[in-house]
Amino acid sequence: MLAASIAALMVDTLLEPSGLTEILFFIISFAIIFAVMSVVFYLAGKVVVGRSRANFKDAFAISVLGTLVLIVCVSVFILEVAMVLALIAWLLLVRHYYETGFLGSIAVGLTSVIVAAVILVVLDMFLGNSTLVFRWLPFFS
């Protein structure tokens, strides 16, 4: 969700990006995505599996490895297959790092979606511009 918002921001603000601008934007957006996703996975893991098994280091590892798997899957497979494989990879990563079962990893995944939506709504209220953050969601724009 955050990656789509950042991509929409790039399209709107940078009319003709140069190669250096694209690289800088990629690096900055990658860092923002990892930071936000790590917080989201940490909070979701803390709620679902408890403080003893959910720490920030594991949440960061889940967000980094999951995003890398997503990038590889999207570049190799068609979009539908890539999304299914990436979803399975995210669930397996959550299952491994948070030492929970498949139902626990699904619960962490659903909780992380809710936490991410709340963060996006708060960000939208803070920025005061719903067309910027929620442009890619048709029912919000």
Q: For residue range 91-103, what is the model confidence (pLDDT) as tens digits? A: 999 999 998 888 9
Which structural domain range is residue 55 located in? 2-6+35-133
In a domain, 139, yes or no: no
125: pLDDT confidence band, cut at 50, 70 and 90? confident
- Distance (Å, whole) CA 81 – CA 23: 27
32-64 in b/e form (b: 16+ CB < 10 A) is ebeebbbbbbbbbbbbbbeeeebeeebbbbbbb
* Identity of the amino acid at 59: A
In a domain, 24, yes or no: no
For helices 79-97 and 102-127, the axis angle rounded to 10 degrees is: 110
In a domain, 39, yes or no: yes
In a domain, 110, yes or no: yes
